[in-house]
Amino acid sequence: MSSSAPNHALEFPGGYTRSVGPVIGRFLTELRDGRLVGVRTASGRVVVPPTEYDPEDGSAVTGEFVEVGPDCTVESWSWVPRPRRSHPLQRPFAWALIRPDGADTALLHALDLGVFEEGAKPPRELRTGMRVRPKWRSERSGGIGDIECFRPDIAMINDSRRTEYHLPPGRALERFLEGIAEGRFLGHRCGVCGKVYVPLKGLCPVDGVPTTEEVEVRDTGTVTTFAVNNIPDPRAPEVPFVSAYILLDGSDLAMLALVAGVPADQVRMGMRVRAEWRPREEWGATMANIKWFAPLDEPDVPFAAIKDHL
């Protein structure tokens, strides 16, 4: 008989259900609600995940729950360059012992450092003492998997210098911004290929000919590609924010803009959007008239219809 063939089976018809008890139950309930809690022991330490008895001396815990984190410190780590299918992340990551601020113990979880190349070495920023935070799932059920992983704090870059300069927009861009000042998107149609370019550029990049036929397109469009940004930007409402190429209806060239009014993880290729204009009294000849593009309650556009505009 093969040594790998099982010769016994343990089965619980209907599944194995047990009570988690008041201490673990409280921990799981708080996880579901997006919080980390520990329990205080008789000696005053805070144990995370909470246990019913102090792991040091076996005495019953006090029952006082303490919210800890979300800022945490990596106490120890082990790099996984080639994850297995059963691992929580399908790209290189670290198993880490992570101690939430306010806790005296650490919990084991996956640490995502944004490394995508299989077999990659641990990144330089991975070190004991690095500061991390949990990435919560949007749908939570009361399990440790409600935390998808931990991620490093963003190392902020702050450049206090300021440079002001004047860029003459050129006649085509000037005309485009005149349209924006009136709440209109203006483009040019190429007399050779018939394509419409928004913003208007005054020439066709395909045919290299000047364009003069002005057309107005709608302020609705379709997301062709997009990026989720985790570095704060003064133009964006919050982090993470989404920048996207949007193919305005009637245009043949996608333009870059912010997408908001929808969680970043729900933005998708083919999503229908409309420009969210600021109040008219705030308008000038500037793209700042448009706050961002927000989702429209319309079915997504199939990939085949946008693939030539990527």
> Where along the sequence are the contacts to Zn ion (CB under 5 A)?
190, 192-193, 204, 206-207
For Zn ion, the closer CB: 77 or 197: 197
Q: Which residues of 78-92 are buried (b: 16+ CB within 10 A; e: fewer)?
A: ebbeeeeeeebeebb
Say how far apart CA 299 and CA 305 lie, in whole Å.
13
- Which residue in the shown chain puts its C-beta closest to Zn ion? 190
How near is the Cβ of 250 to Zn ion at its closest, in Å? 16
How near is the Cβ of 174 to Zn ion at its closest, in Å? 22
**Pick from 86, 80, 99: which is nearest to 150 by CA?**
99
Alpha carbons within 13 A on the beta-carbon side of 265 = 5
For Zn ion, the closer CB: 153 or 214: 214
How near is the Cβ of 201 to Zn ion at its closest, in Å? 11
CA angle 103, 105, 109 (to 5 degrees): 100
For Zn ion, the closer CB: 60 or 193: 193
For Zn ion, the closer CB: 20 or 193: 193
For Zn ion, the closer CB: 190 or 200: 190
- Two tokens, residue 56: 């040091």
Say how far apart CA 275 and CA 85 lie, in whole Å.
41
How near is the Cβ of 257 to Zn ion at its closest, in Å? 23
Q: Do residues 258 and 243 lie in contact, with contact meaning Cβ atoms separated by under 8 Å? A: yes
Phi/psi at 308 (nearest 5 deg)? -85, 0
One-letter amino acid at 291 equals K
The 3-class secondary structure across 114-176, one letter per residue, is CCCCCCCCCCCCCCCCCEEEEEECCCCCCCHHHEEEEEECCCCCCCCCCCCCCCCCHHHHHHH
How near is the Cβ of 287 to Zn ion at its closest, in Å? 24
For Zn ion, the closer CB: 147 or 204: 204
How near is the Cβ of 211 to Zn ion at its closest, in Å? 7
How near is the Cβ of 221 to Zn ion at its closest, in Å? 20
How near is the Cβ of 205 to Zn ion at its closest, in Å? 8
For Zn ion, the closer CB: 20 or 192: 192
For Zn ion, the closer CB: 132 or 196: 196
Handedness of CA 81, 85, 90, 93 (dihedral sign): negative
